[in-house]
Amino acid sequence: MSTEHATSPIGAEPLIDIDGLGVEYRSRENGRRSTVRVIDDLRLSVGRGEVLGVVGESGSGKSTLAHALVGLVEPVEGSIRFDGIELVGLTGRARRPMQKRMQMVFQNPQLSLNPRRTVGDQLSEPLRIHTDLDAGQRDERVRSWLESLELTPDIASRHPHELSGGQAQRVVLARAMTLEPEVMIFDEPTSALDVSVQAGVLNLLRELRDANGLTYIFITHDLAVARYLSDRIAVMRSGEIVELRPTTELFSEPEHEYTKALLASSLQS
């Protein structure tokens, strides 16, 4: 892989610096244990304030990369530096301040919410864990983020099953935003939504980023979505980044054969 692909945008200080990353899963087939390497020698820098799109077919390791970033899987080798702090090997209590600074939003919002608890409870919970805010300040913070996400305050008394898909995804976004993270990692956050609802959420994400100077890592299999949001796009295949370019360049002059194939197939669908 050319090292050129891994450079961060000119002038931007890398906020996230991934080097030589390797992730393996253990599997058991016919009683025999084996390991499968899902991310291999991956290098990637993300600039502060950048939106990095990550595209690639199903199974290429996009989610695994996101999980490694937030500590849901432990890499077998390599390093992930966030604002100069090594995240690999950082567990438990030591990882907590990082959780606040880096939030992840998953594909299915209903699965990210507890069906038995009200929206309001679930929105203030992270604030109780991660901040010193008192109950009144927590309510205020929650109210203000609900408003930013164009949700009415009455939504706080509802249970998740009383929300539409779009509302549920906005609630999950609000919950992440209340912690005022620096980085948001999205794993296909709109693919479970209707197209019209998806457009609304993507618009909001763009506004949130502009208003708050956030850094996004945005995973999607949908090239049009990646194009809409991203400053640069990384194309993943079999656990490697095969091409990483500014968005306009990637679309106008794709270099890698796999990128070309991906662009061609997205035009057909």
* Residues of the shown chain interacting with Mg ion in the complex, contacts defined by CB under 5 A: 62-63
Number of residues that bind ligand ADP (CB under 6 A): 11
What single-letter amino acid sits at 34? Answer: S
CA angle 35, 40, 42 (to 5 degrees): 150
Closest CA to 204 of 166, 245, 149, 162: 149
3-state SS assignment for residue 11: coil
Q: Of 252 and 269, which has the nearer Cβ to ligand ADP? A: 269
CA angle 45, 48, 54 (to 5 degrees): 50
Residue 167 beta carbon to Mg ion: minimum distance, rounded to whole angstroms: 23
Residue 187 beta carbon to Mg ion: minimum distance, rounded to whole angstroms: 6
Residue 11: partners with Cβ closer than 8 Å, 6 or more residues away = none
User: Rule CB under 6 A: is residue 38 a binding residue for ligand ADP?
Assistant: yes
Task: Tell me the CB-side half-sphere exposure of residue 136, using CA atoms within 13 A.
Answer: 0
Pick from 5, 43, 62, 237 the residue near ligand ADP by CB under 6 A: 62
Pick from 17, 46, 53, 60 the residue near ligand ADP by CB under 6 A: 60
Residue 200 beta carbon to Mg ion: minimum distance, rounded to whole angstroms: 23
> Where in 151-190 is the site for ligand ADP (CB under 6 A)?
none
Residues contributing to the site for ligand ADP (CB under 6 A): 25, 27, 38, 56, 58-64
